[in-house]
């Protein structure tokens, strides 16, 4: 028998308002599951991508930079901003005992690029000493970065072979990086020679806050890997003690804020999902119960007409199944239509690393939401189905109950 | 009741087309002007979507007025390619800004895509149901 010819389907269709209301409630519950799962997974992915790119144990920056707004995001996530310190601090830091690798970086925010009015963050690294950027640039580039070559973040709409102009200096796009879900996706990476040219050009044009610096003698941050046998805290204390006018941080501590925010957001999402589900389950339970109560006579007539008790329970369960699965499918589609296309604005409003999961995990989240919603419908209707299976036909038809 | 049922698709299509037309100039507009007063390419995508939105609204109103008649079905058929052209206007036919975290990428493009997708889907369902109904009558 076709589904559309079944009693359950006709019952659902015969009460469009009630069915639509229950389906809408299930849609809300399914959307809460799919949206919540995708948002929390994306935040976790973003944090993992950020952690994966953390190659250094310690970061040293000019002490004056710490007061800069958004300072941690500048050094960790490629947000726009720049500051400089004299190269002598790098030399002093390199002389500290217990350092395995040390490499400087230079930052510059472009004023305008050739496409649009929004500036980009340019990160310069020293290819001879670098140990943090080069490993993942090599994956995309497959070779060395030449002078005036740049590697662009995944979100920039420029492609390998294009040119991009900063402060009048034309650079070639040599490679595009994998997505991280952070501002690093809109940053530009280049070697020390190129960024020094760009800084010099920005100073010449009067577009650099630090007009009196010599680009050949400055660095923005120093990345340090601690040698085996030395503790990170020990080296960190030495750096803070001996390299004055700089501030050193444990790199992992700097993503603690992002991790704490993620826990906070995950907690809020969890509470909201729980609230929607508890409310939804109570309403579904009451709605199915009331619906069966109202239709006791209808079921009694079916029983008299020869329908078994099992069949009556089956009708109630089928009705619940049709309503909840339809509602859940709509809710999942709506949830995906919100999260997938609008992930950019969600990322921006949260201000946290946000990396959507792959197609497989997204489908899994949808299937999970569908299964959980259908299960919730079945649980809510089970009690009513059991009750209708044990009705006393005679009593009901005589109108005594 | 049947007449009302025939008009549901027209109502949905008209509301979606109106939302697209008004929204692209208000809720999910493109990026603003640059400091020098000039516009980026996404502004022209916005203008094109606005123009297409007006056309989609007029056709949707025709579907609403004509209900389940052949004219209504024909108008709904016309909405499918028109919706597809509007869907591909920002980002494919007319470039958006380079930075994907700009308003045109994060808000305008997804909003236009979702609304146009819904218009195409609603029009396709209406065409399918109208043709099936006509087939049953024969």
Q: Does B105 touch chain A (CB under 8 A)?
A: yes
Tell me whether residue B47 is exposed, middle or buried, using C-beta atoms within 10 angstroms of its C-beta: 0 to 12, 13 to 18, 19 or more: middle
Instruction: Please state, rounded to an integer, the average pLDDT across all residues of chain B.
Output: 89
Residue A398 has what DSSP assignment?
T
pLDDT (mean) for A330-347: 91
Among residues A143, A140, A70, A139, which one has the least CA distance to residue A107?
A: A70
Rg (CA), chain A: 31
For residue B129, count CB atoms less than 10 angstroms from its CB and return exposed for 0-12, middle for 13-18, buried for 19 or more: middle
- CB of B31 within 8 Å of a chain A CB? The answer is yes
Per-residue DSSP letters for A192-219? HHHHHHHHHHHHHTT--S-TT--GGGEE
Distance of residue A246 Cα from the nearest chain B Cα, in angstroms = 33
Among A113, A116, A345, beta carbon nearest to B106: A345
Q: What is the mean pLDDT of residues A382-386?
A: 84
Measured from the Cβ of residue A169, the count of other Cβ atoms closer than 10 Å reads 14
pLDDT, mean over chain A: 84
Assign A241 to helix, strand or coil. helix
Q: Is the pLDDT of residue A181 over 80?
A: no
Q: Is the pLDDT of residue B101 over 50?
A: yes
Report the pLDDT value the prediction gives residue B87, as an integer from 0 to 100.
96
Query: Residue A259: is its pLDDT beyond 50?
Result: yes
Taking the domains of chain A in order of start, what are their residue ranges?
3-49+258-397, 55-251
- Per DSSP, the three-state class of A102 is strand
Q: Touching check for B132 and chain A: CB below 8 Å?
A: no
The Cα of B110 is separated from the nearest Cα of chain A by a number of Å equal to 5
pLDDT digits (tens, 9 = 90+) for A82-133: 888 999 999 999 999 999 999 999 988 876 554 444 578 888 988 888 888 7
Adjacency order of strands within the sheet including A188-191: A163-166, A169-176, A149-152, A188-191, A121-125, A99-109, A221-226, A58-62, A246-250
Other CB atoms within 10 Å distance of the CB of residue A206: 7
Say if residues A51 and A77 touch (Cβ distance below 8 Å): no
Question: Which is more confident, A46 or A102?
Answer: A102
Nearest CA among A100, A39, A94, A46 for reference residue A73: A46
Here the ipTM equals 0.76
Q: Which residue has the higher pLDDT, A334 or A351?
A: A334
Partners of B43 on chain A (C-beta within 8 Å) are: none
**Angstroms from B98 CA to nearest CA on chain A:** 5
Q: Does B35 sit within 8 Å of A344, measured CB to CB?
A: no
In chain A, which residue's Cα lies nearest the Cα of B115? A337
Contact indicator for A86, A216 with CB cutoff of 8 Å: no
3-class SS at A146?
coil
CA distance A126 to A65: 21
Could you tell me the sign of the dihedral formed by the alpha carbons of A279, A362, B81, B2, in that order? negative
In this predicted model, what pLDDT tens digit does every residue of B43-65 receive, in sequence order?
Answer: 999 999 999 999 999 999 999 99
* Residue ranges of domains in chain B: 41-131
Contacts of A158 in chain B (CB under 8 A): 98
Cα–Cα distance, A365 to A377 (Å, whole number):
18
Please give the Cα distance from A41 to B41 (Å, whole number).
34
Q: How far is B101 from chain A (nearest CA, A)?
A: 6
Angstrom distance (rounded) from CA A42 to CA A48: 10
- Please give, one letter per residue, the 3-state secondary structure of B61-128: HHHHHHCCCHHHHHHHHHHHHHHHHHHHCECCCECCCCCCCCHHHHHHHHHHHHHHHHHHHHHHHHHH
Q: In sequence order, what are the residues at sequence separation of 6 or more whose Cβ sits closer than 8 angstroms to the Cβ of residue A36?
A: A269, A270, A272, A273
Torsions phi, psi of B56, nearest 5?
-65, -40
pTM over 0.80: no
Which residue is listed with tokens 């946290």? A352
Q: Are strands A163-166 and A218-219 parallel, antiparallel or unpaired?
A: unpaired
3-state SS class at A95:
coil
Q: DSSP 3-state assignment of B30?
A: coil
Residues of A in contact with B100 (CB under 8 A): 155-157, 185-186, 344
Tokens found for residue A277: 């589900």
pLDDT computed for residue A116 by the predictor:
42
Q: How many A-B residue pairs are in contact by the CB < 8 A criterion?
A: 60
Q: Which residues of B are less than 8 Å from A345 in CB distance?
A: 106-107, 110
């Amino acid at each position: 028998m076709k589904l559309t010819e079944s009693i359950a389907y006709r019952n659902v269709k015969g009460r469009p308002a009630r069915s639509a209301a229950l389906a809408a409630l299930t849609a809300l519950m399914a959307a809460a599951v799919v949206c919540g799962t995708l948002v929390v997974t994306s935040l976790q992915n973003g944090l993992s991508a950020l952690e994966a790119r953390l190659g250094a144990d310690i970061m040293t920056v000019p002490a004056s930079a710490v007061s800069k707004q958004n300072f941690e995001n500048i050094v960790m996530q490629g947000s726009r901003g720049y500051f400089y310190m004299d190269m002598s601090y790098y030399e002093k830091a390199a002389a500290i005992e217990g350092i395995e690798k040390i490499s400087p970086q230079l930052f510059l925010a472009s004023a305008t690029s050739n496409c649009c009015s929004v500036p980009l963050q340019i990160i310069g690294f020293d290819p001879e000493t670098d140990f943090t950027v080069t490993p993942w640039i090599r994956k995309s580039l497959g070779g060395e970065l030449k002078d005036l070559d740049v590697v662009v973040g995944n979100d920039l709409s420029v492609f390998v072979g294009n040119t991009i102009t900063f402060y009048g200096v034309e650079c070639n796009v040599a490679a595009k990086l994998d997505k991280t879900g952070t501002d690093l996706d809109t940053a530009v990476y280049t070697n020390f020679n190129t960024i020094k040219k760009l800084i010099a050009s920005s100073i010449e044009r009067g577009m650099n806050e630090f007009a009196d610096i010599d680009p050949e003698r400055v660095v923005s941050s120093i990345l340090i890997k601690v040698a085996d046998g030395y503790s990170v805290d020990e080296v960190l204390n030495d750096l803070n003690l001996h390299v004055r006018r700089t501030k050193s941080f444990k790199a992992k501590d700097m993503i603690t804020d992002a991790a704490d925010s993620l826990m906070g957001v995950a907690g809020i999402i969890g509470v909201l999902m729980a609230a929607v589900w508890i409310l939804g389950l109570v309403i579904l339970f009451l709605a199915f119960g009331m619906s069966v109560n109202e239709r006791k006579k209808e079921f009694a007539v079916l029983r008299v007409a020869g329908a078994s008790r099992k069949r009556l329970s089956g009708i109630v369960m089928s009705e619940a199944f049709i309503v909840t699965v339809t509602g859940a499918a709509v809710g999942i589609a709506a949830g995906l239509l919100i999260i997938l296309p609008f992930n950019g604005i969600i990322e921006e409003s949260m201000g946290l690393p946000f990396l959507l999961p792959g197609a497989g995990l997204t489908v899994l989240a949808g299937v999970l939401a569908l299964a959980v919603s259908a299960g919730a419908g079945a649980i809510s209707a089970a009690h009513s189905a059991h009750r209708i299976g044990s009705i006393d036909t005679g009593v009901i038809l005589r109108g005594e109950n | 009741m049947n007449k009302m049922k025939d008009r549901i698709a027209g109502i949905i299509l008209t509301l979606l087309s109106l939302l697209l037309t008004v929204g692209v100039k208000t809720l999910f507009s493109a990026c603003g002007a640059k400091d020098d007063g000039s516009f980026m390419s996404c502004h022209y995508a916005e203008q094109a979507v606005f123009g297409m939105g007006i056309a989609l609204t007029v056709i949707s109103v025709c579907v609403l007025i004509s209900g389940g008649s052949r004219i209504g079905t024909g108008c709904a058929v016309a909405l499918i390619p028109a919706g597809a052209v509007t869907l591909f206007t920002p980002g494919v036919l007319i470039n958006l800004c380079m930075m994907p975290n700009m308003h045109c990428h994060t808000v305008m493009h997804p909003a236009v895509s979702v609304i146009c997708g819904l218009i195409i889907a609603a029009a396709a369902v209406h065409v399918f149901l109208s043709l099936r109904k006509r087939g049953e009558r024969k």
